[in-house]
């Protein structure tokens, strides 16, 4: 999965996400969750961070499930179950499971893309395959690497306030304001440096990374199309699927 061209992977996953948005099958959602987690844990890298992000997605899925369970008004089922002093219709139960598994499916394919794609290779493929102007492409890459500096600067600002004896609560905006002022200075320096190095897109450049669309990329795209076909097939099945 790490060797797939990021441009092809982006197009395939966007199309897969579009199909998932209109999907009405629980089985199709479960299929995407299983495939996404399988490829994610087969990929090298830190699984602990993926699990922590997946925990947030699970919380969101549970929230949608119980919201639909309590307040759903779908009239698809006539049977009801007494659950914690609330009348839960079979229609609202299915709707809750569908929404919850859809959130988890989006999280699975999103984590798979994020943890199997190199940021440098992603920008290079967008420039060469999608014809994205270098000014915007390298601006995105600079912002991505800049996010780590913002977190470190925020911790330094909070520590500086504590050294000066200024009390700063967990919800105080003082450190955030100072951090944003410093970030504005940094962004100006980065923009000037990019212009001095010719990242304005007005001239041809040479590239260290030159990703190409290989046969394995077409095999990957065909596999994603097969998964979408299976999802459409699940939507035609009767019953809870």
Span 176-196, pLDDT tens digits: 888 888 888 888 888 788 778
Q: What are phi and psi of 209, to 5 degrees?
A: -100, 125
Bridge partners of residue 87, in order along the sequence: 82
SS3 87: strand
Same domain, 179 and 220: no
Domain check: are 17 and 116 in the same one? yes
Whether residue 102 has pLDDT greater than 90: yes
Which pairing describes strands 86-89 and 80-83: parallel, antiparallel, or unpaired?
antiparallel
Residues 105 and 84 in one domain: yes
Does residue 205 lie within any of the structural domains? no
Per the prediction, the chain carries an average pLDDT of 83
Q: Do 94 and 182 lie in a common domain?
A: no
**Do 161 and 89 belong to one domain?**
no
Give the domain range for residue 88.
6-123+210-236
Judge if 114 and 220 occupy the same domain. Answer: yes
Within a domain: residue 10? yes
Indicate the number of domains in the chain. 2
């Amino acid at each position: 999965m790490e060797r797939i061209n990021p441009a092809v992977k982006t197009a395939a996953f966007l199309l897969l996400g579009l199909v998932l948005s209109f999907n009405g099958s629980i089985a199709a959602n479960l299929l995407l969750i299983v495939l996404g987690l399988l490829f994610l844990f087969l990929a090298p890298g830190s699984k602990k961070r993926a699990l922590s992000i997946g925990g947030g997605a699970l919380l969101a899925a549970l929230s949608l499930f119980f919201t639909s369970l309590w307040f759903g008004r779908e009239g698809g089922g006539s049977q009801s179950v007494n659950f914690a002093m609330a009348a839960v219709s079979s229609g609202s139960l299915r709707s809750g499971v569908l929404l919850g598994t859809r959130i988890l499916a989006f999280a699975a394919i999103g984590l798979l893309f994020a943890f199997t794609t190199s940021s440098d290779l992603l920008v290079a493929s967008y420039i060469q395959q999608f014809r994205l102007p270098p000014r915007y492409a390298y601006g995105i890459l600079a912002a991505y690497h800049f996010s780590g500096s913002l977190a470190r600067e925020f911790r330094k600002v909070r520590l500086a306030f504590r050294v000066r004896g200024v009390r700063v609560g967990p919800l105080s905006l003082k450190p955030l304001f100072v951090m944003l002022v410093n970030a504005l200075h940094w962004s100006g320096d980065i923009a000037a440096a990019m212009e001095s190095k010719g990242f304005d897109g007005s001239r041809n450049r040479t590239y260290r990374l030159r990703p190409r669309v290989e046969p394995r990329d077409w095999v990957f795209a065909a596999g994603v199309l097969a998964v979408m076909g299976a999802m459409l097939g699940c939507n035609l099945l009767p019953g809870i699927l």
